DNA sequence: AAGGTAAAGATTGTTCAACAATCCTGCAAT
DNA sequence: ATTGCAGGATTGTTGAACAATCTTTACCTT
C-alpha cells in the first residue's frame, strides 16, 4: 500500500487542521451560507476549542479561499461573484484540459478512479439523489486532474473545486445543474479508456463551456444592498437605493 | 485611481502576515537554508512577537509550501527533491504556456510589465549582478503568468516560483543558471509584442525544458543519511549575544 | 565496552486569562 | 438628515501555564 499517503494524513498536525476540516465540511454543506460572519466566541464554545486554535483554523481556510478575513471585523464565508465563476472555469479549462491530454502517462490506478467516480454519479442519478450526484461529479473532476500525476496540480484543482462549491451554495436549486453532465462524464472516461485523449479533451472543454454558461445564467442578480465580497467587486460603499 | 487595490493592501491584517513576510524574505534570501529547523523560542525573541503570532506565521508559510510542519518536532525550511523539480516544471509548462497563448486578451499594462522585467534582467546582466538577474527572471515569469488576467492563475504561479527559489537555494552557484536565459526572455517578449503568441509559446516551452534539464543536472546528489546543508550556512544568526 | 532503559530536560501543542485597539450601535445635539 | 459621542461588543496580541511528546543524558545490565 502507499504508506506515504497515510502518513501524510497522519502527520498533519492536531486540532487546528481538524477544526478547519470540520468547518470546511460545514461550509460546503451549506450550514454557513456565503456572507455569514463566523463569530469567534460562538464557534469557540460550539466546538469546544480554544480561541487560538479556532483562529488557526480560520487562517487556513482563509488561505484556501473559503473565508475572507477582514481586519478587526472577523471572518466571513466567501461570497463569489460572476467574475469569479468565469475565472474558475478559465483556470479549470487550462488545468483539467492539460491533465486529460497527459492521461497517457497517468499513474497506475488513476484511470480507475475516474471510472469509479463515473459509476458513482450514475448510481446516484439512478437513485435520484442530486446531492450525491454533485459530490460524485466533483470527485470525477478531481480524478481527471489526478491523471496528470502531479501533486501540485491536483492540489490546485482541489482548491478550485472547493471554491466552486461556494458558487453552488449561492445558487438556489443548483443541485439540478449536475444532472445533465453524467453522460458527459461517462463519455470522457470512455474516450480516455479507448486511448483517445484528444477527443476526450474536446468533450471536456465543451462540458466546461456549457457548465459555465448555465451557471452564469442561474447566477443570482446583483446583490444591491449587501457587501459584494471584499476587494473583488466595485466598492459600492454606502449607496443604498430605496 | 483603483481604490480597491489599495484597500486590499491595507486590509491585509496585522502581525501574523507581516511576520510571515519577513520570514519569507529571509528564507528566499538564503538566511535559513533548506532543512533548517526554525525554533519557536529563538524566533520569538529575535522578532519580538508572541509565540501565538509566530505560530500563525508558521502556518501561513507551511501552507505556502516554504515550510514543513512536523508534529511535535517543529517547522523546517522545506527541502525539495529532484522529483519536485520535475513536477514544478511540468506544472509551469501547463500554466505559463496557457498564459502566453492567452496573451491576446491580456489586461492593459500586463505586456508592459513583461517588457519591464526583460529590461530589468538585461540591465542587471550588464552590471554582472547575478542576484538581480535571478529576481528579474522571476518577475518575468510572474508577468508572463499575469498575461492571462486570472488572479487564481497568477497566485498559483506565485507559489510555484516561491518553491522554485527553494530549489535554487539548495544548489550551490545556482545564480549562474539564470544568465543564459535573458535572451530567451527578450525573444519571448518580442514575439508577444509582435502578436505571435504561438511562436512565443514554442520558445517558452523550449526555455522551460532547457532550464529544467540544467537544474536537474546541477542537483545535489542523494541526501543519503542526514541533512548535508545543516552546517554550511550560518544558522546561528538567531542567537543574539548580549 | 556495547547496548538498552529510564529519568531529566527541552520543545512543541493547547488552553486560559488579560488588556489594547477597533468596530458597531444607539442616542443626543445641531 | 447628519454629525458627534459615549457605551458595549468583537477582534488583535500578548503572556503565562500545563500537558504531550521528543531528545538527551546518565545509569544499569550483559
User: For A195-227, how does the pLDDT look when each residue is reduced to its tens digit (9 = 90+)?
Assistant: 999 999 999 999 999 999 999 998 876 544 333
Q: How much is the mean pLDDT over chain B?
A: 85
Asked if B132 and B176 count as a contact pair (C-beta separation under 8 A), the reply is no
Mean pLDDT to the nearest integer, B189-194: 98
Our measurement of CA B73 to C1' C3, in angstroms, reads 26
Above pLDDT 90, what percent of chain A? Answer: 64
Q: How much is the mean pLDDT over chain A?
A: 85
The pLDDT value recorded for residue B6 is 43
Q: A144-193: per-residue pLDDT in tens?
A: 999 999 999 999 999 999 999 999 888 877 767 787 899 999 999 999 99
Chain B residues whose beta carbon lies within 8 Å of the beta carbon of residue A231? 4, 7-8, 11
Tell me: pLDDT of A106 over 60: yes
The nearest alpha carbon in chain A to B156 belongs to A156
Number of C-beta neighbours around residue A19 at 10 A: 23
Mean pLDDT to the nearest integer, A66-90: 94
The pLDDT value recorded for residue B120 is 97
Q: Is A201 exposed, middle or buried (0-12, 13-18, 19+ CB in 10 A)?
A: buried
Instruction: Give the gap in angstroms from C-alpha B104 to the nearest C-alpha of chain A.
Output: 15
Q: Tell me which nucleotides of strand C come within 7 A of a protein CB.
A: 11-18, 21-24
Strand C contacted by A55 CB (< 7 A): no
Our measurement of CA B105 to C1' C4, in angstroms, reads 70
Helix, strand, coil share of chain B (percent; to 5): 70, 5, 25
The pLDDT value recorded for residue A29 is 84
Mean pLDDT to the nearest integer, B87-114: 98
The rounded distance, in Å, linking the Cα atoms of B162 and B27 is 10
Residues 172-201 of B with CB under 7 A from strand C: none
Please report which confidence band the pLDDT of residue A235 belongs to, taking 50, 70 and 90 as the band edges: very low
Residue of higher predicted confidence among B117 and B229: B117
The rounded distance, in Å, linking the Cα atoms of A123 and A115 is 12
Q: Which of B56, B71, B88 sits opposite A14 (nearest CB)?
A: B71
Our measurement of CA A17 to C1' C14, in angstroms, reads 13
The pLDDT value recorded for residue A13 is 56
Mean pLDDT to the nearest integer, A82-91: 97
Helix-helix angle B130-146:B151-170, to 10 degrees: 160
Q: A4-27: per-residue pLDDT in tens?
A: 333 334 334 567 888 898 899 899
Greatest mean pLDDT among A127-136, A230-239, B174-183, B191-200 lies in B191-200
**Could you tell me the pTM of the whole model?**
0.85
Q: Which helix (H) or strand (E) holds B38?
A: strand B37-38
Count of CB pairs separated by less than 8 Å, A with B: 70
Tell me: pLDDT of A229 over 50: no
Amino acid at each position: 500500500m502507499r504508506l506515504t499517503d497515510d502518513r501524510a494524513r497522519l502527520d498533519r498536525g492536531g486540532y487546528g487542521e481538524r477544526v478547519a476540516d470540520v468547518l470546511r465540511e460545514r461550509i460546503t454543506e451549506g450550514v454557513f451560507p456565503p456572507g455569514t460572519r463566523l463569530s469567534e466566541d460562538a464557534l469557540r464554545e460550539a466546538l469546544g476549542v480554544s480561541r487560538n486554535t479556532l483562529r488557526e483554523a480560520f487562517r487556513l481556510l482563509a488561505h484556501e479561499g473559503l473565508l475572507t478575513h477582514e481586519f478587526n471585523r472577523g471572518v466571513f464565508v466567501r461570497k463569489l461573484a460572476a467574475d469569479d465563476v468565469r475565472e474558475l472555469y478559465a483556470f479549470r479549462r487550462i488545468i483539467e484540459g492539460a491533465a486529460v491530454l497527459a492521461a497517457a502517462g497517468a499513474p497506475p490506478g488513476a484511470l480507475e478512479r475516474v471510472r469509479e467516480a463515473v459509476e458513482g454519479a450514475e448510481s446516484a442519478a439512478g437513485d435520484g439523489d442530486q446531492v450525491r450526484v454533485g459530490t460524485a461529479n466533483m470527485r470525477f473532476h478531481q480524478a481527471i486532474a489526478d491523471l496528470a500525476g502531479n501533486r501540485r496540480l491536483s492540489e490546485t484543482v482541489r482548491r478550485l473545486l472547493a471554491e466552486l462549491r461556494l458558487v453552488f451554495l449561492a445558487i438556489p436549486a443548483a443541485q439540478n445543474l449536475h444532472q445533465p453532465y453524467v453522460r458527459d462524464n461517462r463519455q470522457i472516461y470512455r474516450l480516455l479508456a479507448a486511448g483517445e485523449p484528444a477527443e476526450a479533451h474536446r468533450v471536456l472543454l465543451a462540458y466546461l463551456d456549457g457548465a459555465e454558461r448555465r451557471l452564469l445564467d442561474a447566477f443570482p442578480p446583483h446583490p444591491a444592498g449587501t457587501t459584494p465580497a471584499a476587494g473583488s467587486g466595485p466598492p459600492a460603499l454606502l449607496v443604498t437605493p430605496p
